[in-house]
Structure 1
């Protein structure tokens, strides 16, 4: 992605985060009429885009694969904060919100983002090439985290329903953090070359020459604005959440659609970033973004909601229904077959996108 830095103060990416914070102060804990909700939603969407833009600036400063890590963590912070704030006001009806949002993030990233990236990369360059060692390690970690956190609660017997007991929830949270930390160490220290983009001859691309890195000052400005954008996103989302939930209920849609909407909102900018990389024939970076987001979504959300469950009222249901477990299993199998060769054609991208479409259809009509 070509990025030009400088004159940050006059950009919309500077104005929108500050506007989001001001709007948050003006609307905090107030009942919002329809026109105000529309304005808040527009500012919220702009704040999400601005947040990821500033994450990209910071990422460009630190380089790959740290850049993908910055984006994944930034998006996940948004997601975790949205989940916790919505659960705090939802009571029993939000018992499945964390599960639905995390599973939606996994399906969106592993099928939607991966499928689009492979399709764009292969259509534009003949085949999409990537490093199977790094991508395979990321996929194995995502599959393990998803199974431990979202599948096992359906089969445990310590508590009634698809819930973990307290010791089991603590184990899942600690295991998630350990696996995520182990992966980050592998990605950024011991085997960093596995996660760098490669040429069609299999040579690692260690440096980009398309743009100079932002200065230290610009990076710090972007880091500050990133924090402001995240605060704005979380607060404004909390303000419009009653409208979102009532709209879903009025349309007769399942409660799980709320989780899908949250995941789509926070992952849309990252999807755009992944597609930009795929167009530049940097499919490995696209896959780092997609699988890194799925991993961070589970590895950071589960510990966060586990800690929040201490003071949140109501149960915390994490176990998937059989229908969703089938979709998860099929996603893992198809993703494994996609990763092994280290290159993909439009067919693989299309297969992932069909799985993503099936998920959306079944979320609306289970």
Structure 2
């Protein structure tokens, strides 16, 4: 990976930027910040995100695929869960739909934005993007099932008024989400690991990256793992510090509250996006799909159980059910995604179609 190749050059800023972001977190925690301080904390936040990408890639390169994609997906989901829970704890009734908005935005960003961008980048470089249909198809099916169970069914259940689950239904959805996610991880990393390894243009599986730099030593990987945790803590804390500015900006612009969830998802998925695009540029499209679909899956399969557990002490309703517009976008995403992954090959056209769906989602989020 490029991040590993340049480890000695990047080591300086990738070490001190997360530490600086932690200092910004300590100084800003629980305080009302002036605009200049918000800008400074946001700068530290951006630096911590980029540092997290670097350290996650180092760890991922050490453990290899598909474990590396899993590391980054889980790391990103930890950020998402922590942000949702902290904002819901402070926001009151107006954040009742924040978990739904953020998780759905993550699905749209990963399954359309990241996949579309990666297919576009790969197709521009090699004309045809090649990947395993078996692995990608299974991942997409799992994402579609998780999204339907957690985000669509609450709109139609009748045990509780409104687009909400009853306690028993929420418990079932949380357990089912964890079980499906655990089953997928077992298939991805053990039973059918070969389905999630990158392939050449001729369709041959790439089982190692011998044409690139050797994996980092264990000490470097452990250091990066420690700094990754530090960077993630800094991202969560600094994002919470700037979230009031984001919410006030959304309100002053006259935008729907759901835009806050979109902004949070865009923020936490930035590391995933950068890593996926880098993999696509290196003709590792399967790695890009692992990152995108794995992150969508983790976003639902881990976030919903965490939010369900948090409802024990969180006050107010938990709105999970999607509206009609978002259900149409989800259905379109699943159909188009299936047509994209089944052949195991994609061109510029598929990338453009996914990006157009993502653009429609962003536009409709601002103008429902």
Q: Normalising by the residue count of structure 2, what TM-score does the alignment of the two structures yield?
A: 0.98
Q: CA deviation at 1:188?
A: 0.2
CA contact (8 A) 1:154 1:321 kept: yes
Q: What does residue 52 of structure 1 align with?
A: 53
Shift of 1:9: 8.8
- Which structure 2 residues correspond to residues 185-196 of structure 1 after superposition, within 5 A? 185-196=186-197
Structure 1 CA distance for aligned equivalents of residues 235 and 200 of structure 2: 38
Structure 1 SS opposite 2:163? coil
Asked if 1:154 is matched to 2:165, the reply is no
Distance 1:58 1:238 in 2: 26
> Post-superposition shift, 1:8?
7.9
What's the CA shift for 1:201?
2.0
Report what 1:71 is aligned to: 72
Unpaired runs of 5+ residues, structure 2, are none
Offset, 1:269: 2.2
Aligned-partner Cα distance in 2 for 1:276–1:70: 16
Q: Partner residue of 2:237?
A: 235
Deviation at 1:20, TM superposition (A): 1.1
Once the two structures are overlaid, the 10-residue window that deviates more, 319-328 or 48-57, is: 48-57
Contact 1:253 1:364 in 2 (8 A): yes
State the TM-score, normalized to the length of structure 1. 0.98
8 Å contact kept, 1:8–1:218: no
Question: Which residue does 1:249 correspond to in 2?
Answer: 251
Q: Is the 8 A contact 2:66 2:189 kept in 1?
A: yes
Alignment check: 8 A CA contact 2:77 2:302 kept: yes
Q: CA deviation at 1:10?
A: 4.6
Shift of 1:280: 1.2
SS at match of 1:159: coil
CA spacing shift, 1:18–1:96, aligned 2, 3 Å: same
Q: Which residue number in structure 1 is paired with residue 364 of structure 2?
A: 362
* Structure 1: distance between partners of 2:280 and 2:11: 30
For residues 273-294 of structure 1, give each alpha carbon's deviation from its aligned partner in whole angstroms, at most 9, with x where no partner exists.
1111111111010000000000
Measured after TM superposition, the shift of residue 155 of structure 1 is 0.2
Counterparts of 1:232 and 1:144 in 2: how far apart (Å)?
Answer: 33
1:193-342 equivalent positions in 2, closer than 5 A: 193-209=194-210, 210-342=212-344
Deviates further, 233-242 or 247-256? 233-242
1:5-27 Cα distance to aligned partner (Å, 9 max, x none): 65489521111111111111111
Shift in Å at residue 304 of structure 1? 0.6
Alignment size in residue pairs:
366
Q: CA deviation at 1:52?
A: 1.9
1:109 aligned partner? 110
- Superposed, 1:60-99 pairs within 5 Å as 60-99=61-100
Partner SS state of residue 11, structure 1: helix
Kept in 1, the 8 Å contact 2:80–2:265? The answer is yes
Unaligned stretches of 5+ residues in structure 1: none
> Which string of whole-angstrom CA distances, capped at 9 and with x for unpartnered residues, describes residues 161-205 of structure 1?
000000000000010000000000000000000000011222110
- The 2-side partners of 1:252 and 1:61 are apart by 46
Deviant stretches of 4+, over 3 Å: 5-10
